[in-house]
Structure 1
Amino acid sequence: MIRQIKEVDYPRLMEIWEASVRATHKFLSEIDFQYYKIRLPTYFEHVSLFGYEKDNILIGFAGVALHNLEMLFIDATFRGIGVGKTLLTYAVENFGVTNVDVNEQNVQAVDFYKHMGFQTYMRTEVDDHGKHYPILKMQLGTC
């Protein structure tokens, strides 16, 4: 079930984020992991957040701003059962999402977005924080 996220959910979002990033961002240094973790709650205030619940437990969430998917994270123990696809489809259908930025080194995410119909139209050498993690800018459909 998909539902809107409330501020009371933020601690659970942090747990999901940490489990997801630890499982998929092996390239991220511990210093940078902590850097992003500290900033994450402030990002929540700038996106429309919604989550996926299974058996009354929040197991994944996404955040959208304008037509951009700004975040999509699934609890690592629930990966591979369609939660990401469900959240992304919801974002496209309900928020008109057409764009996503993906860490190039997160090959699983890049492959997922390609599978879902996104194509790379630009690559940057650094992320939005100036850190040396290349970003692929992807767009739904043809570029």
Structure 2
Amino acid sequence: MTIRSRIPADNSALVEIWLRSVRATHTFLREQDIEDLYPQVRDLYLPAVEVWVCESAEGLIAGFIGMHEAQVEMLFVDPEQFGRGVGTSLLDHVRQKHASLTVDVNEQNPRAHEFYRRYGFKDVGRSATDSAGRPFPLVHMAWQS
């Protein structure tokens, strides 16, 4: 696996990985919720963050992480790559740049919550809604070296 900075040509593949990953993991979302979020992710959220891309040995994008300073804003892995160390490699990469990291995880996504716990993140708070005020509770987590 190789990790590199995003280039503009990556964006369509990244948003498709987001889509496949969300459909596989965010079972609390309705399909309409996902369809409503898609253009926001493509046009607003993805362009607003520093993105690191993980490529497989075959040169295919396996996943990506979006950062705003030390906050993990998004971490998505192609479902075909689940369990192969992509998410861990991406976190390892950004950890080299920051002495501490934070992330907000959907409480209704226990797989992601457990992934961050195994990595060493600790729960530090909770919000009853997501950042847009929707009824999707968030667990606030922090990692420190």
Using the size of structure 2 for normalisation, the TM-score is 0.93
The answer as to whether partners of 1:63 and 1:69 remain within 8 angstroms in 2 is: yes
Give the equivalent residue in structure 2 for 1:40. 41
What SS does the corresponding residue of 1:45 show, helix, strand or coil? helix
The answer as to whether partners of 2:99 and 2:144 remain within 8 angstroms in 1 is: no
Give the equivalent residue in structure 1 for 2:19. 18
What SS does the corresponding residue of 2:129 show, helix, strand or coil? coil
What SS does the corresponding residue of 1:105 show, helix, strand or coil? coil
1:72 matched to 2:83? The reply is: no
TM-align CA RMSD: 1.3
The answer as to whether partners of 1:5 and 1:50 remain within 8 angstroms in 2 is: yes
Q: 1:30 to 1:8 in 2, by over 3 A?
A: same
Partner amino acid, structure 1, of 2:66: G
Counting matched residue pairs gives 142
1:107 matched to 2:120? The reply is: no
Identical positions, percent = 36
What SS does the corresponding residue of 1:52 show, helix, strand or coil? strand
1:132 matched to 2:102? The reply is: no
The answer as to whether partners of 1:47 and 1:64 remain within 8 angstroms in 2 is: yes
The answer as to whether partners of 2:130 and 2:137 remain within 8 angstroms in 1 is: yes
Structure 1 stretches of 4+ with a deviation exceeding 3 A read: none
What SS does the corresponding residue of 2:16 show, helix, strand or coil? helix
The answer as to whether partners of 1:69 and 1:97 remain within 8 angstroms in 2 is: no
For 1:58-94, what per-residue CA distance to the aligned partner results, in whole angstroms no more than 9, with x for missing partners?
Answer: 1100011011000000000010010000001111112
For 1:86-141, what per-residue CA distance to the aligned partner results, in whole angstroms no more than 9, with x for missing partners?
Answer: 00111111244510000001000000000011111111110011110000000114
Using the size of structure 1 for normalisation, the TM-score is 0.94
1:5 matched to 2:14? The reply is: no
Hey, what's the Cα distance between the residues in 2 that align with 1:90 and 1:67? 12
Hey, what's the Cα distance between the residues in 2 that align with 1:137 and 1:61? 20
Give the equivalent residue in structure 1 for 2:61. 58
Hey, what's the Cα distance between the residues in 1 that align with 2:24 and 2:136? 17
Query: Which one of the candidate residues 97, 115, 119 is aligned to 1:94?
Result: 97
Q: Unpaired runs of 5+ in structure 2? A: none
The answer as to whether partners of 1:64 and 1:97 remain within 8 angstroms in 2 is: no
The answer as to whether partners of 2:100 and 2:142 remain within 8 angstroms in 1 is: no
